Structure 1
Amino acid sequence: MKIVLILLLFIVMCNNLQAQIDDSDKLLLDKKLQNVLNSDQQIRKEAIAIFHSAVDIEKKIEFQHRLDSVDQANQQFVFAVLDSQGWPSGLSAVANQAIFLVIDHAKLEDQKKYLPLVKEQSSNGILDKSAYATLYDRVQMHSGKKQIYGTQTILQNRGQEGDVLLIWPIQDSEKIDSLRQSVNLPPLNDYVKVVSSMYGKKCYWDKSLEVKDIRFNGK
């Protein structure tokens, strides 16, 4: 009887120890992901200032290399986690947002790869519904297709008016605000004002704009 009790006590102690180790690992992962988010957002704050200023092209190219380096490091870490264990459970909201942002800022093939994971986390309430809507629209845009929720813009030169931001062509303009509402996004006209204020450039929603009308690199 004593042997049985000792064995049971040993099992309980082992389970508690394993739980403590798991909790410690999760806290460490959460902290690392919070650092990932901080680096992602900091470099993009710098990007807004640099790419919308009169800084010479050499400095912009130099900064682009630094931004790419930060993104690649973040992607290497986050994608290794996702590929080895899927989307970790029990993370803080900040850590979950970090994973999303790394995916959102990745290349098209990676965005497509992890889009189902983002959809699942959005459906389960781990991410806001707007996260999936944003990534879905970004995949559509990078695939040369119309977006659904109106979350994506593109910089275009309009002659004397200079560079402006245009809402990427939308699939169903008549239903856009109800679609945005369904994923916790504000009306598109309000979003246009926010984008214009954030980037210090005029932003337009041209309903007649088609994908074929978009000019890339002046072409």
Structure 2
Amino acid sequence: MKLLSVFLFFIVLSPVAFCESKIDSVLLKSIMMMFKEDQKWRIESRNLINGKKSLYNEATINKNTGRVDSLNMIEAKKIISKHGFPGYDLVGEDGSKGFWAIIQHCDEDLAFQQRALVLMSKQVKRHNASGENYAFLQDRVLIGQGHKQLYGTQVSIDLKTHYAKPLPIQDSLNVDLRRKTVGLSPLNDYLKLFDRR
């Protein structure tokens, strides 16, 4: 009887073991290195905008941001071709979110961003990627296509008043309902994050 119960225990657990995925540490390391470079120049840019010290002038920051974005896009295309949109099961939460940030900055190739958005949608439906980040990318793609956004994540900042306002939104009366469904804070709270007065 003991043998039978051990055997049944193995049968019950074995599908779980076979379904577990292993983090691709090489891919994760590559994505995190790309993300680190992506953020380095954006942090320097934010420092300049906010009147903080930076080791670089605006021209150098802009040049390096463009260079890094171009190089990252080349690598991101290779990753998408081989793996699709890397979800939590492949590169963990940090890796998946880092990859999303890289895609956010691939504005030079809107068709590629759209492709990544479709692939990310599949991962979000599986709860294998961030719904919040998906909303940001969807808005970015819509704005890039010349359409109104859905979630109000894309904003402009008035240089005189320093107030942020969202770029045009579809059905703006229900924007907070849509934001809530993907885990975003209310729009007014989000806009306060940009307040530099």
TM-score range, shorter chain: 0.7 to 0.9
In structure 2, C-alpha distance between the alignment counterparts of 1:53 and 1:35, rounded to whole Å: 27
Q: Aligned-pair distance for 1:106?
A: 0.6
In the aligned structure 1, how far is the partner of 2:50 from the partner of 2:66?
A: 18
CA-to-aligned-CA distance 1:136-193 (integer Å, 9 cap, x gap): 1111112222111111102345xxx355432111111211111100010011111111
Indicate the residue corresponding to 2:146 in structure 1.
144
Partners of 1:51 and 1:65 in 2: CA distance: 16
What residue is the counterpart of 1:129 in the other structure?
A: 131
2: CA distance between counterparts of 1:93 and 1:43? 23
Q: CA deviation at 1:101?
A: 1.0
Which structure 2 segments of 5+ residues have no match?
1-21
Task: Give the CA RMSD over aligned residues.
Answer: 2.5
- Name the structure 2 match of 1:110: 112
Q: How many angstroms apart in 1 are the aligned matches of 2:147 and 2:95?
A: 31
Whether the 8 Å contact between 2:41 and 2:61 is mirrored in structure 1 is no
Q: Could you say which residue in structure 2 is the equivalent of 1:166?
A: 165
SS in structure 2 of the partner of residue 38 of structure 1? helix
Please say if residues 118 and 131 of structure 1, whose CA atoms lie closer than 8 Å, have aligned partners that are also in contact: no
Deviation at 1:131, TM superposition (A): 1.2
Equivalent position to 2:77, from 79, 86, 92: 79
1:60 and 2:62 are equivalent in the alignment: no
Q: Is the Cα contact below 8 Å between 1:51 and 1:60 reproduced in 2?
A: no
1:95 lines up with 2:95 in the alignment: yes
Q: Distance in 2 between matches of 1:51 and 1:188?
A: 23
TM-score (norm 1): 0.69
The structure whose Rg is larger is 1
Cα distance in structure 2, aligned partners of 1:179 and 1:188: 10
SS in 2 for 1:154: strand
Give the distance between the partners of 2:153 and 2:25, measured in 1 at CA.
33
Whole-Å separation in 1 of the counterparts to 2:123 and 2:27: 18
Structure 2 counterpart of 1:119: 121
Retained in 2: the 8 A contact 1:37–1:97? no
Q: 1:170 to 1:70 in 2, by over 3 A?
A: same
Q: Are residues 162 and 180 of structure 1, via their aligned partners in 2, closer, same or farther at CA, if it must alter by over 3 Å?
A: closer
What is the total number of aligned residue pairs between the two structures?
171
Q: What does residue 181 of structure 2 align with? A: 182
In the superposition, the TM-score normalised over structure 2's length comes to 0.76
Contact 1:147–1:168 under 8 Å retained in 2 = yes
Match of 1:191 in 2: 190
1:97 to partner: Cα distance: 1.1
User: Structure 2: which amino acid aligns with 1:73?
Assistant: L
Conservation of the 8 A alpha-carbon contact between 1:104 and 1:135: yes
